[in-house]
């Protein structure tokens, strides 16, 4: 789904965007460590990019990790999290557009469940 054609504006996207309003957590990465962390809401998403609200203006060209609680569930029961890494290609004071370089879906809470299972196993032993 693309927005309306505006006079004097060229559409540069090669893929469609879809409106999606979900909570997002983001980390601006610097040498594999998080430099700043924030939260926002997705505005739209496509196979090659995501637009979301931010708490501050993100630096252009920086690598960002984005985590979104996905609205669909695996097998209809297991919550999913969409985790993507990409570069900031457009930003202003309260939103940013990121070109996705790689992504994966994770089951939400899997690390917490794994830690709980390990603690339970240790208590039994």
pLDDT for 4-58, tens place per residue? 444 554 555 566 777 788 899 999 998 767 778 899 999 999 989 999 999 999 9
Give the Å distances, CA to CA, from 20 to 16, 17, 72, 76, 125. 13, 9, 12, 19, 46
pLDDT for 64-95, tens place per residue? 999 998 888 888 888 889 999 999 999 999 99
Query: Which uninterrupted H or E stretch holds 117?
Result: helix 110-124
d(CA 20, CA 78): 20
pLDDT score of 112? 43
pLDDT score of 32? 67
What is the CATH T-level fold of the domain 17-124, as seen in this structure? Thrombin, subunit H (2.40.10)
**Tokens 């196993």 label which residue?**
121
Residue 66 CB: number of other CB atoms within 10 A?
22
Strand residues in the chain grouped as ranges (E): 17-19, 23-30, 33-46, 49-53, 63-74, 78-92, 95-107
Coil, helix or strand at residue 30: strand
pLDDT score of 8? 56
**Tokens 């899997």 label which residue?**
110
pLDDT score of 114? 44
- The DSSP secondary-structure symbol of 15 reads S
d(CA 106, CA 88): 23
- Above 60 in pLDDT, residue 63? yes
């Amino acid at each position: 789904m693309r927005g309306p054609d505006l006079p004097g504006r060229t559409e540069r996207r090669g893929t469609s965007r879809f409106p999606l309003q979900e909570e997002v957590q983001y980390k601006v990465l610097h040498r594999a460590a998080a430099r700043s962390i924030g939260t926002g809401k997705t505005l739209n998403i496509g196979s090659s990019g995501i637009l979301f609200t931010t708490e501050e203006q993100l630096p252009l060209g920086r690598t960002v990790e984005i985590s979104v609680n996905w609205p669909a569930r695996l097998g209809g029961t297991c919550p999913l999290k969409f985790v993507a890494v990409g570069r900031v290609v457009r930003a202003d004071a309260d939103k940013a557009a990121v070109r996705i370089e790689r992504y994966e879906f994770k089951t939400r809470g899997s690390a917490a469940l794994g830690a709980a299972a390990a603690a339970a196993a240790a208590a039994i032993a």
